């Protein structure tokens, strides 16, 4: 937890491992608990949980692993999902509802509807994604309280 003098806030950080389905959802569940203790509005909690969950699952399924960092400030929640590759070839395509490169195996687990990124965008007030093939993917999202 970091305290910034002119702008107080809480920092939550979670490491997300590749292919670790057993722990997937832990970060978002934990974030939810903290937000409840802060007395944040239930709709904001739900939207934050959805956004971080989808980011978390994308790191588990599509990347080599990464981190989810959440900053909770009195007026907003900032979420940053960062991984170490392999990146997205065509971000515009990835953002389309229904687009997914998930394997059949993953689809059998109930993922791969191609709705994760669109939902992250839908449920947050600000959404920004940066990714190149061969590099890392960074998703930054903000929800105003």
Partner 1 sequence: MKNYWHSVTLESELCNGCTNCLRRCPTEAIRIRNGKAKIIKERCIDCGECIRVCPYHAKKALANDLSILNNYKYKIALVSLPLYGQFCLEKDINKVFNCFYDIDFDFVYDVAYAADILTVLQKDLVKSSEIPKPLIATLCPAITRLIQIRFPSLIDHIIPFESPMEITARMAKREVAEKLGVSMDEIGAFYIAQCPAKITSINKPLGIKKSYVDGAIPISKLYSKLLKIYKEIDNTKKIQKASGKGIGWARVGGQSFAIGIDNYLAVDGIENVIKVLEEIELGKLNNIDFFEGYACITGCVGGPLNVENPFIAKSRIRKIASSFGDSEVDKKEAYRMLEEGKIGLTEKIKPLSILKLDSNIQRAIEKMEFLEKIYKKLPGIDCGSCGAPTCHAMAEDVVRGKASIDDCVIKQRKKISGSRG
Ligand X SMILES: Nc1ncnc2c1ncn2[C@@H]1O[C@H](COP(=O)(O)OP(=O)(O)OP(=O)(O)O)[C@@H](O)[C@H]1O
Residue 140 near ligand X by CB under 6 A: no
| Spatial contact of 131 and 91, defined as CB atoms under 8 Å apart | yes
Identified binder of ligand X from the candidate list 10, 44, 65, 99, rule CB under 6 A: 99
Segment contacting ligand X by CB under 6 A, of 4-12, 43-51, 67-75, 105-113: 105-113
φ/ψ (deg, to 5) at 45 = -60, -45
CB 40, min distance to partner 1, A: 7
Q: Tell me: does residue 58 bind Mg ion (CB under 5 A).
A: yes
The CB-nearest residue to ligand X is 116
- Window of 6-14, 17-25, 28-36, 109-117 that interacts with ligand X by CB under 6 A: 109-117
Residue 95: cis peptide before it, omega within 30 degrees of 0? no
Q: Which residue from 32, 114, 142, 145 is in contact with ligand X, where contact means CB under 6 A?
A: 114
For ligand X, the binding residues in 34-93 under the rule CB under 6 A are 54, 58-59, 61-63, 83, 87-88
Total site size for ligand X, rule CB under 6 A: 23
- Residues of this chain that interact with partner 1 (CB under 8 A) are 1, 3, 8-10, 25, 28-29, 32, 34, 36-40, 42-43, 45-46, 49-50, 53, 72-74, 110, 119, 145
């Amino acid at each position: 937890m970091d305290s910034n003098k002119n702008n107080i806030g809480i920092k939550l950080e979670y490491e997300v491992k590749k292919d670790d389905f057993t722990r997937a959802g832990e970060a978002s569940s934990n974030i939810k608990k903290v937000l409840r203790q802060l007395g944040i509005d239930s709709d904001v909690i739900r939207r934050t949980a959805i956004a971080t969950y989808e980011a978390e699952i994308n790191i588990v399924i599509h990347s080599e692993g990464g981190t989810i960092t959440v900053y909770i400030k009195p007026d907003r929640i900032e979420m940053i999902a960062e991984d170490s590759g392999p990146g997205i070839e065509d971000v515009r395509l990835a953002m389309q509802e229904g687009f997914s490169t998930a394997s059949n195996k993953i689809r059998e687990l109930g993922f791969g509807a191609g709705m994760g990124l669109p939902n992250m965008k839908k449920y947050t007030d600000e959404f920004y994604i940066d990714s190149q093939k061969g590099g890392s993917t960074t998703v930054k999202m903000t929800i105003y309280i």
